[in-house]
Amino acid sequence: TVAQQRRDLQGALRVLEEGLKILPDNPDLLTQRGSLRLATQDVTRARADFDLALKKDPSNSRSYGDFST
């Protein structure tokens, strides 16, 4: 998102939260939110987002890769 590019992590999280209200099962949005949470040291919630993204789409290898960083 534009907010991510500007390093406005809280703004980017807000945008993803709005997206997830519309598409709550979207593994790409869940993975992006997990990545942002990881960037803000919210490891527990990041892991929950990655786990949920993988449940929704087990082939979503990005969720594995993002959490391994």
| Nearest-angstrom CA–CA distance, 41 and 12 | 15
The 10s digit of each residue's pLDDT in 34-61 is 999 998 899 999 999 999 999 999 887 7
Q: What pLDDT does 31 receive?
A: 92
Q: Mean pLDDT score of the chain, rounded to an integer?
A: 84
HSE-CB at 8 with a 13 A cutoff on CA atoms is 9
pTM of the model: 0.80
HSE-CB at 66 with a 13 A cutoff on CA atoms is 25
* Mean pLDDT to the nearest integer, 59-68: 66
